[in-house]
């Protein structure tokens, strides 16, 4: 398990929705937006509402990657990779903070009751900040 640095936690908390990458059964990559929350410095949590490609990919191969970057100078960017655990109808699912769902439509809110929670345990962190010196370097 790897601990996320404070700067990364702040970025993730500020983003609300991040790109989440998974791998399909055929080896093809899949990227989808997910509303996330940082549960603690070692885990990221999001809800799966539609149980489509991302969910199916996580069932087959429970690993995922997320990224976030600062939009203004000085630029910083991170990629986080880890192992995903899916929870249904348990305390982890129930604990998802409703503030994660702020700004979504009533249709979205109706799906919350049947959602799954995905807990991503951070295993690797890479610097994705633009520049020859650091981009792509594993930092944790």
Average pLDDT, the chain: 88
d(CA 119, CA 83): 8
Is residue 132 in some structural domain?
no
pLDDT attached to residue 139: 93
Domain count, the chain: 1
Q: What pLDDT digit, counting tens, does each position of 66-105 carry?
A: 999 998 888 899 999 999 999 988 888 877 755 555 556 6
Is residue 81 in some structural domain?
yes
Is residue 119 in some structural domain?
yes
Q: What pLDDT digit, counting tens, does each position of 6-52 carry?
A: 999 999 999 878 999 999 999 999 999 998 989 999 999 998 888 89
d(CA 77, CA 135): 9
Is residue 137 in some structural domain?
no
């Amino acid at each position: 398990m790897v601990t996320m640095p404070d700067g990364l936690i702040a970025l993730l908390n500020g983003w609300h929705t991040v790109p989440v990458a998974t791998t399909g059964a055929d080896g093809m990559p899949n990227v989808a937006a997910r509303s996330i929350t940082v549960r603690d410095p070692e885990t990221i949590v999001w809800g799966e509402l539609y149980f489509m490609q991302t969910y199916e990919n996580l069932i087959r191969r429970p690993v995922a990657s997320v990224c976030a970057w600062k939009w203004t100078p000085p630029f910083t960017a991170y990629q986080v990779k880890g192992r995903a655990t899916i929870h249904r109808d348990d305390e982890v699912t129930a604990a998802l903070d409703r503030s994660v769902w702020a700004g979504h439509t009533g249709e979205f809110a109706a799906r919350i009751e049947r959602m799954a929670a995905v807990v991503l345990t951070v295993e690797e962190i890479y610097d994705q900040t633009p520049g020859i010196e650091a981009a792509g370097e594993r930092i944790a």
